[in-house]
Amino acid sequence: MNAVRDVEREDLLNFMSSCFVATGQDEFYSQADAHTVSLDFLHHYTVANYRPFYTRMLATSINDFNKGLIIANLLARPQFTASEKAIEGRLIARALDAMPPPQAYRALYRLIQRRVNNRRTRAIMRDYLTSRPDPQFHTLKYRRFVRAIAEHAHLKLDAESQQILFRGHRRWNRFDTPVFESYRRAHYEARAILDLPLSVAEGLAERLGYSRERLLTQFKDTMTVREKQRLQRSAQRSGLDFSDAMMTMSLTRLASYVAGLSDAERDGAREKTPLAFQSAAKRAARRTAQRYGRVGLVLDRSRSARSSVAKANRPLAIAVGTVALMREIADDVTVHWTPAYVGEPWDAVAAGPTDLATPLLNALATEPDHVVIVSDGFENAPSGGAAEVVRIWREKLSGHRKTTLTHINPVFNPQTYAVRSLSPHIPAFGVRNVDDVPLAMLMARFKAGVFDLRQLLQFLDVQARSALAD
């Protein structure tokens, strides 16, 4: 019986861990198609065997890509238990609401592609569209998605939305809805573009002869925060300064942004960078109640931390962000890089081989309460070095000291349907967002067998309940 429970616990934790990291994109060591196939299997396996657990994953902070897959898989399969059905419906609606709209639309579009067209699906689609605070704006900005959904779910939209969606612009008449009317006029008149949201205006700007600079200058005040963050470098080329946007970025986004800067740009942002990291870390720290004592960080900045074009520098960014976060929520933090590096974490550059054993030995020498390894798990100098060090340290040296070891892995490994683990002694958990590091450290305790399956399910149930109670 215990063996069965262990298998179940491992299945569930591996699935959960994968849902935090996998995004179906290229990584350094594997390609997107391998990820898609592997994830597809993992989701089918889990929904078939552990459906209540699978549903409750929507209430955790797993990434939106996997939430989208979960939603599609749940809606594609009938649920006959009334109580579960109600929970599923509410969790799905809530998850869609909480996602950025492009992700939510992509999740719904996946259902269209899979030709799932049951009553539940149609109701979810209808509710999502009607509950948008500004439906006209969505109709314009996500025109392709809204159109496909309206078609698929046989939605009755108002007459003007129908015209916008299903007719070419040459056949449009004057609209009463102001934003639709601006959109119509913007096909003929450059000035009308200013009344549109930036992302819609961008599409029309070129044919109206708007330069990039003029567009950014005129939209400077109406841009959303995220748009400013995203367009910082493009704005810099046009002589605009959005560098204050750095101060509002989340820790992961900030670390990724800084890792992508050229040397000159980095020098330019030198004063602001430490402040930005500090304030981002403070905000992240407020979101968790966890506090740690002495923490030794073992961080991987080997070449593979550059990841791929699609996820440029993501593993490095997680490492850098973890330093900043830990400095806020731990009493004492020591940082050990591989390849060895001293200096500000945000100036680290990914290059060289991966030797995790040496920094791990350095970290253990400081007698910490927690050792956190941030690495993609591809160790090669030599492979298996960290595992040997930990084995001998556990057998001979650790004594009764209660040092916990956690391996935080920012990369999904499609071959094993989980993140790559360094050693059975070091529980590994996937993290794609620095905010999830404390959660990952907790989950690693589940994985190490400190807590059992019942407690894990209980934990998830509490999460789901509190999510629905909000």
Partner 1 sequence: MPGQTDLELNRYLTLQGLTPRPSQVWGSVRLVPLVREKVVGDLRLGLRRYDADFAAVAVKGSMNKPKLSYFSFIPHGLYVTWDDEPLEEVSVYSHFRDMRSQKDGRVSDNGWMKFQTHHRMVKQVASKTIRMFPQHLATEGLLAMHFGGPDVAYDYYSRRLLRSGMSPRIEYALPGEEIPDLADALRVFERYPNQCGVLVYIADALASAFVVPHPQDYGVLHKQLLENLYARLFYYYGQLYDGVDQFGFHVADAGIASLDDLRGAFERATAAHAEFEANMTHDLLGRSVSRRQMYEMGPFELAWFLTDLREPGPQHVGEAIVRDNGTLEYLKTFRLDDDVARRAYWLDHLARHEWDVVAAAGAKNITPERLRDNLVDSGFEFMFREGRATRFDRPRR
Question: What is the amino acid identity at position 246?
Answer: M
Q: How far is CA 372 from CA 292, 299, 441, in A?
A: 11, 8, 8
CA separation for the pair 393, 397 (Å, rounded):
5
Nearer to partner 1, 305 or 333 (CB): 305
Binds partner 1 by CB under 8 A, chosen from 89, 345, 359, 385 = 385
Query: For residue 197, what are the contacts with CB-CB under 8 A and spacing of at least 6?
Result: 137, 140, 141
Binds partner 1 by CB under 8 A, chosen from 382, 424, 455, 465 = 382
308 sits near partner 1 (criterion: CB under 8 A): no
Nearer to partner 1, 340 or 468 (CB): 340
Binding residues for partner 1, rule CB under 8 A, total 30
- Are the C-beta atoms of residues 412 and 69 closer than 8 Å to each other? no
R_g of the chain computed on alpha carbons:
24
Buried b (16+ CB within 10 A) or exposed e, 82-100: eeeeebbbebbbbbbeebe
User: What share of residues in the chain are helix, strand, coil (percent, to 5)?
Assistant: 60, 10, 30
468 sits near partner 1 (criterion: CB under 8 A): no
Counting every residue written for the chain, the total comes to: 470
Binds partner 1 by CB under 8 A, chosen from 17, 304, 409, 413 = 304
421 sits near partner 1 (criterion: CB under 8 A): no
Nearer to partner 1, 121 or 304 (CB): 304
Shortest distance (Å) from residue 410 CB to partner 1: 16
426 sits near partner 1 (criterion: CB under 8 A): no
Nearer to partner 1, 115 or 400 (CB): 400
375 sits near partner 1 (criterion: CB under 8 A): no
352 sits near partner 1 (criterion: CB under 8 A): yes
CA separation for the pair 355, 373 (Å, rounded):
12
CA separation for the pair 165, 178 (Å, rounded):
16
Q: Which stretch binds partner 1 (CB under 8 A): 80-88, 148-156, 172-180, 383-391?
A: 383-391
Strand 418-419 to 412-413 pairing:
antiparallel
Binds partner 1 by CB under 8 A, chosen from 149, 215, 324, 389 = 389
Shortest distance (Å) from residue 417 CB to partner 1: 18
Question: What is the amino acid identity at position 374?
Answer: V
Nearer to partner 1, 18 or 304 (CB): 304
Q: Which stretch binds partner 1 (CB under 8 A): 59-67, 147-155, 394-402, 458-466?
A: 394-402
* Residues at the contact surface with partner 1, assessed by CB under 8 A: 28-29, 302-304, 339, 351-354, 357-358, 361, 364-365, 380-385, 387-389, 391-393, 395-397
